[in-house]
């Protein structure tokens, strides 16, 4: 890995390089995605089935696109009991964590005859996109569905690309069943996103779409935003490790590679105050890369977006970490909890040498759907709040409105909104002359 002494110029160059991975920069795909979305919006099932045949090689129609109860039972029987048990334990941790996020409606009643409050309502329906193909991502299924289920969403629809045989990966399907999906459809790509957003004869539309996918899925979510809500436009995975001379270089190297293996655009950065640790980690990375299965991806990822940065002190390291605002941030220092209090921007914070990033990906409970590409400066992890909406509640009695009604009239007239003012004034007609 590249070892660089940190300074302002280096910091700016790295931030610039990382932003090049933003999916919003891939305009060359936009035209194709827009055409797919428009086709599904206008031709509905006809276009959905045609694109499924074209891109996934599967023949689908209205009678086969929805996964049946029999298919779910068949899939569950195909999952190894050991994996099923692990999924169930992870599910419990994820549900317990998100249960702590649940909000409740509140009302404040005052003696003057006013009641103010906030009504919390779960979204009626949510679509969850799950990548398909040869790989299975049951962790993604759990992380996207469980917060919706905890929030109280009644209709949770999962879409995922089918294989050429028209079947869904059994592990993916089993995870969806365990997590609480109410419907599963065999559809993927931009066409599935469009179907969820606008509805077809087979797939009724939803209110929000969440879940990861390739560039076509990301751009399709961007294209339908406004017709429905979305979680985010997810970028490539990233990890940043803050470490001092107490860190175990083998552990740090392993953690950096845990994200670099995702794809060639993944980012893995170590910021350390120790030159010795920097050299040791670089050597350990080289050793691991020779042994691990995704060698080519690891090499390209590290070449493009892998850095070991040597900071003068921990304050400079923290300042740079806050500028980068990484999706995953590990703190491996003498006083990790003290360093954690100085972190302003990070998707998820892992504290101590035994809290490695995959713990969060699969098992601990906090959501692994996290802001990327610096968006941790203003976005949060996926959670229960993403599946609710809030309504303000306002009640004033006549006795409560009377002493403030002239203030409201004055405000409205200052903005030249006479109908606003009149709406208040009519309630006290005939009274002003008696005052």
CA nearest to 354, candidates 363, 343, 346: 363
Q: Which two tokens stand for residue 281?
A: 């980690």
Q: How many Å apart are CA 390 and CA 92, to the nearest integer?
A: 27
Q: Which two tokens stand for residue 435?
A: 């005052």
Question: What is the secondary structure of 374-389 as a DSSP string?
Answer: TGGGT-----GGGGEE
Long-range contacts of 104-111 (CB under 8 A, 24+ apart): 107/393, 110/400
Q: Are 360 and 368 in contact (CB under 8 A)?
A: yes
Cβ atoms within 10 Å of 136's Cβ, excluding its own: 22
Q: Are 376 and 325 in contact (CB under 8 A)?
A: yes
CA nearest to 66, candidates 204, 206, 210: 204
Q: Cite the active site residues.
A: 327-328
Q: Which two tokens stand for residue 178?
A: 């365990």
CA-based end-to-end distance of the chain? 81
Q: Are 268 and 309 in contact (CB under 8 A)?
A: no
Query: Residue 122: exposed, middle, or buried by beta-carbon count in 10 A (0-12, 13-18, 19+)?
Result: middle
Question: What is the secondary structure of 226-295 as a DSSP string?
Answer: TTBEES------EEEEEE-TTS-HHHHHHHHHHHHTS-TT-EEEEEES-HHHHHHHHHHHHHHHHHSTTH
Sheet with 155-160, edge to edge strand ranges: 183-186, 155-160, 125-129, 208-210, 229-230
Please tell me the total number of residues recorded for the chain in this structure.
Answer: 435
Please give the angle made by the CA atoms of 322, 325 and 330, to the nearest 5 degrees. 85
């Amino acid at each position: 890995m590249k070892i660089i002494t940190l300074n302002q110029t280096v910091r700016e160059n790295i931030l610039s390089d990382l932003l090049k991975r933003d999916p919003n920069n891939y305009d060359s795909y936009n035209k194709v995605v827009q055409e797919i979305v428009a086709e599904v919006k206008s031709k509905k099932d006809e276009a959905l089935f045609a694109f499924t045949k074209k891109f996934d090689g599967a023949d689908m129609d209205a009678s086969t696109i929805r996964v049946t109860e029999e298919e779910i039972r068949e899939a569950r029987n195909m999952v190894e009991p050991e994996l099923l048990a692990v999924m169930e334990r992870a599910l419990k941790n994820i549900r317990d964590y998100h249960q702590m996020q649940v909000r409740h409606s509140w009302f404040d009643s005052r003696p003057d005859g006013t009641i103010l409050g906030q009504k919390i309502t779960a979204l009626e329906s949510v679509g969850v996109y799950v990548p398909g193909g040869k790989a299975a991502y049951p962790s993604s299924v759990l992380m996207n569905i469980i917060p919706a289920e905890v929030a109280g969403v009644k209709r949770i629809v999962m879409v995922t690309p089918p294989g050429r045989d028209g079947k869904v990966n059994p592990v993916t399907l089993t995870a969806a069943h365990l997590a609480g999906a109410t419907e599963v459809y065999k559809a993927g790509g931009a066409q599935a996103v469009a179907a969820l957003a606008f509805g077809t004869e087979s797939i009724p539309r939803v209110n929000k779409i969440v879940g990861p996918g390739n560039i076509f899925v990301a751009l399709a979510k961007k294209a339908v935003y406004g017709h429905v809500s979305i979680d985010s436009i997810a970028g490539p995975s990233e990890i940043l490790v803050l470490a001092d001379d107490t860190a175990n270089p083998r552990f740090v190297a392993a953690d950096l590679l845990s994200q670099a293996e995702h794809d060639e655009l993944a980012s893995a950065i170590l910021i350390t105050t120790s030159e010795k640790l920097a050299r040791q980690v670089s050597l350990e990375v080289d050793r691991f890369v020779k042994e691990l299965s995704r060698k080519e991806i690891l090499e390209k990822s590290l070449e493009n977006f892998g850095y070991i940065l040597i900071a003068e002190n921990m304050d400079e390291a923290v300042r740079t970490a806050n500028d980068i605002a990484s999706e995953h941030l590990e703190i491996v220092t003498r006083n990790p909890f003290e360093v954690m209090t100085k972190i302003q921007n990070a998707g998820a914070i892992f504290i101590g040498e035994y809290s490695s990033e995959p713990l969060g990906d699969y098992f601990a409970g906090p959501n692994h759907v996290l802001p990327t590409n610096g968006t941790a400066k203003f976005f949060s992890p996926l959670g229960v709040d993403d599946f609710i909406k809030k309504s303000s509640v306002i009640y004033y009695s006549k006795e409560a409105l009377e002493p403030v009604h002239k203030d409201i009239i004055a405000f409205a007239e200052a903005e030249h909104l006479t109908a606003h003012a009149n709406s208040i004034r009519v309630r006290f007609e005939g009274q002003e002359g008696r005052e």
